[in-house]
Chains A and B, each alone.
Chain A
């Protein structure tokens, strides 16, 4: 559309004052996008603005305003959502442990079992002042037990980890896991890990004391033990003797590294 030929658009009419209308007829303000280059466009709108003292409100600009309103609404919703999420994140950050935190921390049972040297070992009194990580497993376990122990071994070898952490591995398969077998198994991970065994009845009693699921062997038709179902959690007790948190399988090294130094400070 050539300049000067087009009538003023319906959107521009309400904003026109009688004194301006004659000036404005010289500058066509249409709802259509003016043809020509960017320079021409800028010049045209500049002149209109100069004549009116304001930016002309064409249908394009109405659409833009509506779009802006939508964008503003959307941005506001996103902001509110982000704030809410941040609030949630803050509430989860308030939890001191990444593991399964106990609502009512219970005192560690002081069960007496037999260590890999064949000596009696009191689980609480002989580990006084340390973080105790108690795990019920068996040496021929194909997956969970070695993974838990390997993770702990890797984490405890990290620089900056507190020295007062004891890992207590209690066998649930005393027939197979003799003290020597347990020692050889634990030495694959760390010579510092403590292996414990006892009679079948005693071991069941200890599992109950720790509120662990009592291990049950799965036997085939010949009566041979195929596998042993057992509790996959590591029970963590702070140096004050209270069971603060538990770590199921799988627990990542980042979780251990975050929690263990905190546990070590609870005296």
Chain B
């Protein structure tokens, strides 16, 4: 976590001259780090790593649905450009943030990281657990980048496209493994099945809960964002049509606006 916080605030001090360092970014970044800490540390981190599949899934939802987009919103454009330039990642980022690529990569990561093989092998040790957390965070960055990337040209421009992307990449596909977990007749993950029970929660019940968290956990974020996009789209369309109407109004030779009798708004 310090690897994120220290470089961020150090580079904030080295911001290019003439660019305002908005509080907006810093607040979002701080919120993202706090959420990351909540998802990683005790008790959720410990429960998710060794005891409860539902806690594991809650961690996943927090990482990908909250931490990743909030951290992206907390990165100013100049910082992202500088980072991409120094690490020679600009082109790679451009390719990975194409909606189809980002959606496929995220969902591939989602299916891999929730496969019994990956969970049982990675959760068995601290390094593997860390790798899984990192994978989720990178997956979250990837899937949210076409919507909230700090680099404007990496963002999708069309509102319907954004909404469709959000629905397909974050709404539809995660429901499939979620369904598997909810309706599986046996516990899929040995790690959680063979762990001491927490508050008497059975392994199968815990897994069903995990499936529900996966299926329903993202819904408020996905649909909330879709609603916000829809609202913004309607606002933009209204503003555009008003502008268009303004520009179409003929001007009389005397310079006064001529009120047309065929104006549909009248």
Contacts and interface: CB of A to CB of B under 8 A. Distances in A.
Interface string B194-233: 1111001011100000000000000000000000000000
Interface in B176-205: 186-187, 190, 193-197, 200, 202-204
Interface stretch (A7-15, A143-151, A176-184): A143-151
Interface in A231-262: 249-250, 252-254, 257
Contacts of A257: 186
Nearest to A251: B194
Contacts of B203: 150-151, 154, 253
B186 A150 contact: no
A36 interface: no
Q: What is the interface residue range for chain B against chain A?
A: 10 to 19
A250 B202 CA distance: 16
A252 B189 CA distance: 10
B190 A150 contact: no
Contacts, number: 35
Interface in B143-187: 186-187
Contact of A254 (B186, B195, B202): B186
A152 B195 CA distance: 14
A56 B169 CA distance: 51
Nearest to B187: A253
Contact of B202 (A142, A146, A154, A249): A154
Contacts of B186: 252-254, 257
B195 A147 contact: yes
Contacts of B200: 188
A150 B187 contact: no
B193 A252 contact: yes
Contact of A146 (B190, B193, B197, B204): B197
A142 B194 contact: no
B190 A250 contact: yes
Nearest to A253: B186
Q: Which 9 pairs across A and B sit closest by C-beta, in order of nearness?
A: A250-B194, A150-B197, A154-B202, A254-B186, A253-B186, A143-B196, A146-B196, A147-B194, A147-B196
